[in-house]
Each structure stands twice: as C-alpha cells, then as structure tokens.
Amino acid sequence: MTGAGAQVIDGKAMAADLRGQVAGHVARLQTEHGVTPGLAVVLVGEDPASAVYVRSKGRMTREVGMTGFEHRLPAETEEATLLRLIGQLNVDPNVHGILVQLPLPAHIDEALVIGAIAPDKDVDGFHVTNIGRLATGQAAMVPCTPLGCLMMLRRSLGDLSGREAVVIGRSNIVGKPMAQLLLREGCTVTVAHSRTRDLPQVARRAEILVAAAGRPGLVQAEWIRPGATVIDVGINRVTDAEGQQRLTGDVDFAAASQVAAAITPVPGGVGPMTIACLLANALAACCRAHGLPAPDGLTA
C-alpha cells in the first residue's frame, strides 16, 4: 500500500471554488435584498507576516463583492482603545463580521478582546459563546481553519462517521475546535500534543490525521497509517539550505505522500481554505443579521 503516491488535496482550487460560491450569494443578496456583507479586519502592530495575511484577506473580500474595512492600529495602542473600536464595530450595521488578527501585542489581554466581539459577528469563532455552541451542537460560528480542514476531509472521504481521527495540537484556534468538529461528525477523536507519550504510535492509529503542532516536519512517514488522510495545518516559515525563506508544514510531505492515501500540501492546502471559510462565515453572519437563512453547504 506504499509507494503509490498520495492524492494531493488541492486546497487552492477548493478555496477558489468556495469563494466563487460565496461571490454568487453576495451578488444575489445585493440584487434581491440590497445588502452587501461587510467584513472588518483589525490589525494591531506591524508584524510583517500578519500584514501579508491582512492584505490577502482584504483583496479576496473585495473580489467576492463584500465590503472590507481595515483598521490598522500602532503596536502601542492601549487595550481600552481597541475595546472602544470593537464596541463601534459591534453596532455598525454595515459590519457583519469582525476579525481581530492574533497574536496581539503582549500588553493587550486577548481573551478580553475576543470576549468583547459580538458573538454573531465573531467570524473567527473564537468567542466563548461560539466555542460553547460548537461543543454543545448548536448553530455556531466555526473557526475558519478547522472548518476548511473539515471541508477537505469531506471531499476526500465523504461520510466521516466511525473514523479514527487523531489531532496533533490542542490550541484554542485549531486543535480543540477541530476535535469538536470531528466528534460532531461521528469520528473517534484523540487529541495528542507535546506531552503525549509515544506520539508516533498514537498518530499511527489515525485514518484521519490532522497535524496542528506548529513544528516543521514533525510528522514522519512512520507516523502515518497506510491509507490515511493527512491534513497539514502547519504554516512554518523556514530558511532552507540555500538561505531561501520558504513555507513548510508540520508533515514531511515527500515521505508522507508515499504512505498516505491523501494529503494536503503547504502552501496551497489549509491556508487558502482558511481565508475562503472566513468569507463564508462573513456571508453567513450577514444573512442571519438580515433574518435570512445562511446558504447551505458553505459553513459547517
């Protein structure tokens, strides 16, 4: 079962397709209801990697026909100032989704800031209300990265129920909500992390392996059960032997491809789907704000 070469799940193409569907719904909302979804992105500080994501989010927001609002605040912005801005965005009828780019500077309490976002505008799905809704099976705004991963898994495997899933990583933004989503799909879910004993052996149980540890090349070929579907959430900036900066995942892609049945690449896998799901969440938030049902199939 090895050596055949895994099917590469094309996140870039899936994301373009999803954005196309979002654009269709945005156009329909405009003609039938005179409503344009608005997405506000707040960036505090000058982190260059963050600035790149904010720019591509802004471009794609406009490409699908939504209104993008960008708020760039200096790194020394006071917490109270940021909270005041969120308060204004919460009541702005033209803003249906709010994303505060993380991480925030150390002097700002992230939990306080996320908690200040109106849950129905929380397109990241980070507010405790949305996490609680997800965990109890209520309609929730689902975090974009796990949502994108789920869509790719469904595309690759169809029904996920009864599958053995292992998530490596227990972060609030990926590992924990990913585990909740897989549980909701009927998977048997193990959440492994840096303290897990014999991580390779635990990983080898997985028919579905989600690597979200933030450690470049952590997952080796021997960690993978033959025929597994591998989702690589890692987006690590590394310097290669020639001194070139490049992006690499948490999985040793070349080696893993010889064992897995299907695998996502980095770049071009989870990253583009994350942004497309953000737009899908903003569309859903806009629909609900106007008493309309969120379009089927675009969210979880």
Ligand X SMILES: Nc1nc(=O)c2c([nH]1)NC[C@@H]1CN(c3ccc(C(=O)N[C@@H](CCC(=O)O)C(=O)O)cc3)C=[N+]21
Find the shortest distance in angstroms from Cβ 100 to ligand X. Answer: 6
Q: Which residue out of 124, 232, 250, 252 is catalytically annotated?
A: 124
Provide the pairing of β-strand 97-100 with 7-8.
Answer: unpaired
**Rg of the chain on CA atoms, in Å:** 19
Is 263 annotated as ligand-binding?
Answer: no
| 27/55 Cα distance (integer angstroms) | 23
Tokens matching residue 234: 């890692």
Give the count of beta carbons closer than 10 Å to the beta carbon of residue 265: 19
Residue 208 labelled as part of a binding site: no
Tokens of 265: 């690449």
- Comparing every residue's Cβ against ligand X, the nearest one is 271
Using CB under 6 A as the binding rule, the residues of this chain from 67 to 106 that contact ligand X are 99-102
Among 163, 272, 280, 300, binds ligand X (CB under 6 A): 272
Rounded distance, CA 208 to CA 136, Å? 23
Which of 226, 280, 278, 279 lies closest to 257, judged by CA?
226
The residues near 71 (Cβ < 8 Å, ≥ 6 apart) are 40, 41, 42, 43, 85
Q: How far is the CB of 178 from ligand X (least distance, A)?
A: 14
For residue 8, state whether it binds ligand X (rule: CB under 6 A).
no
171 is in an annotated binding site: yes
Question: Least distance (Å) from ligand X to the CB of residue 266?
Answer: 6
Element (H, E) at 39: strand 38-44
Q: Is the dihedral of CA 298, 185, 9, 171 positive or negative?
A: positive
Binding pattern for the stretch 123-162 against ligand X, x by CB under 6 A and - elsewhere: -x-------------------x------------------
* Residues of this chain, 232-261, that bind ligand X according to CB under 6 A: 235, 247
- Give the three-class secondary structure for 214: coil
Place of tokens 């605040």: 73
Please say if 124 is a catalytic residue.
yes
Q: Is 114 annotated as a binding residue?
A: no
In eight-state DSSP terms, residue 88 is H
- Minimum gap (Å) between residue 57 Cβ and ligand X: 8
Single out the segment in contact with ligand X by CB under 6 A; choices: 50-58, 66-74, 155-163, 289-297: 50-58
277 near 144, Cβ under 8 Å? yes
Kindly state the smallest distance separating residue 52's Cβ from ligand X, in Å. 6
Pick 180 or 264: Cβ nearer ligand X: 264
Active site residues: 57, 101, 124
Site residues (CB under 6 A) for ligand X?
50, 52-53, 99-102, 124, 144, 235, 247, 266-268, 271-272, 274-275
Specify binding-site residues for NADP(+).
Answer: 169-171, 235
- Residues of each annotated binding site: 169-171, 235
